[in-house]
């Protein structure tokens, strides 16, 4: 992006996220999904990746998405209406073994069907901890999205936990891995909910998907 385009996009992102946000519903089954009347962007990531913190930081509210809810406990999809222009969709964290003897879990059928059959879904964000990079389970989720024809973009989280040089390397390495996936966006974003970095860029990217002003 050129600097000028950047400024305009950042301003659009800031305007979108200055709008009020409201919890719509938590859906546990296909019957309880809200009507897909707004473009949707879904947040995905392994438990503890910093998903709730990122959603809260983006909208500037501390407690919108529940931080550190017992991972893997529910398979609920939470919907938040952002100013009547974009639906933020909080998917359950994956990768948590419910019982010690069970293997790591992916998602329930319900979540898979949501991803596959949701015309309103414009993009999924796959959140990856900057320190850890892509793990096999993340690759599985990306493959699932490739197969479901869900466009997705990787967003590194907790960028404050590593040095800028390490972060740059992680971005390059992650972008190279994403290039092998058909439905992955080529740009890898990086964010920190704690240091509030990368949020303006992510807001700008999401404003491109929202209902026009």
Distance CA 44, CA 123 (A): 11
Position 47 contacts ligand GDP (CB under 6 A): yes
Closest CA to 147 of 188, 106, 176: 106
Min dist CB 35 to ligand GDP, Å, is: 26
Q: How far is the CB of 161 from ligand GDP (least distance, A)?
A: 5
Which 181-210 positions form the footprint of ligand GDP (CB under 6 A)?
Answer: 192-194
Query: In angstroms, rounded to a whole number, what is the distance separating the alpha carbons of residues 82 and 57?
Result: 14
**Min. distance of Cβ 56 from ligand GDP in angstroms?**
8
Q: Which of 11, 14, 19, 48 binds ligand GDP (CB under 6 A)?
A: 48
- Say whether residue 160 binds ligand GDP (CB under 6 A): yes
67 binds ligand GDP (CB under 6 A): yes
Q: Name the token pair of 101.
A: 């003897």
Q: Which of 44, 49, 111, 126 binds ligand GDP (CB under 6 A)?
A: 49
The size of the interface with ligand GDP (CB under 6 A), counted in residues, is: 19
Q: What's the distance, CA 153 to chain centroid?
A: 8
Pick the binder of ligand GDP from 85, 122, 123, 158 (CB under 6 A). Answer: 158
Q: Is 170 in the site for ligand GDP (CB under 6 A)?
A: no
Which residues have CB under 8 Å from 182's CB, separation 6+?
A: 146
Of the candidates 87, 65, 85, 86, the residue with the CA atom closest to the CA atom of residue 76? 65
Contact 88, 79 (CB under 8 A): yes
Minimum gap (Å) between residue 192 Cβ and ligand GDP: 4
CA distance 127 to 35: 26
For residue 88, the cross-strand partners are 41, 80
Sheet strands (E) in 28-167? 40-45, 77-82, 86-90, 121-129, 152-157
In the complex with ligand GDP, the residue whose CB is nearer, 24 or 194, is: 194
- Residue 125 tokens, joined: 């964000």
Contact segment (CB under 6 A) with ligand GDP among 64-72, 77-85, 141-149, 198-206 equals 64-72
Minimum distance, C-beta of residue 42 to ligand GDP, in the bound complex (Å): 14
Out of 13, 45, 72, 83, the only residue in the binding site for ligand GDP (CB under 6 A) is 45
Residues that bind ligand GDP (CB under 6 A): 45, 47-53, 67-68, 71, 93, 157-158, 160-161, 192-194
């Amino acid at each position: 992006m050129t600097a000028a385009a950047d400024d305009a996009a950042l301003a659009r992102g800031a305007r979108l996220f200055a709008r009020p946000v409201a919890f719509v519903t938590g859906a546990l089954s296909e019957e309880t999904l809200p009507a897909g009347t707004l473009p949707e962007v879904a947040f995905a990531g392994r438990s503890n990746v910093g998903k709730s913190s990122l959603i809260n930081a983006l909208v500037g509210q501390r407690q919108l998405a529940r931080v550190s809810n017992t991972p893997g406990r529910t398979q609920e999809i939470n919907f938040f209406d952002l100013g009547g222009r974009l639906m933020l969709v909080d998917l359950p964290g994956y990768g948590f073994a419910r019982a010690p003897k069970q293997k790591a879990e992916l998602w329930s059928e319900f979540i898979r069907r949501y991803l596959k059959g949701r015309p309103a879904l414009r993009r999924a964000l796959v959140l990856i901890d900057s320190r850890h990079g892509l793990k096999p389970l993340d690759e599985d989720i990306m493959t699932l999205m490739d197969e479901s024809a869900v466009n997705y973009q990787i967003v590194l989280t907790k960028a404050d936990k590593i040095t800028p040089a390490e972060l740059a390397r992680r971005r390059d390495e992650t972008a190279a891995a994403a290039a092998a996936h058909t439905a992955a966006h080529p740009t890898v974003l990086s964010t920190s909910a704690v240091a509030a970095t990368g949020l303006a860029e992510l807001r700008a990217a999401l404003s491109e998907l929202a209902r026009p002003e």
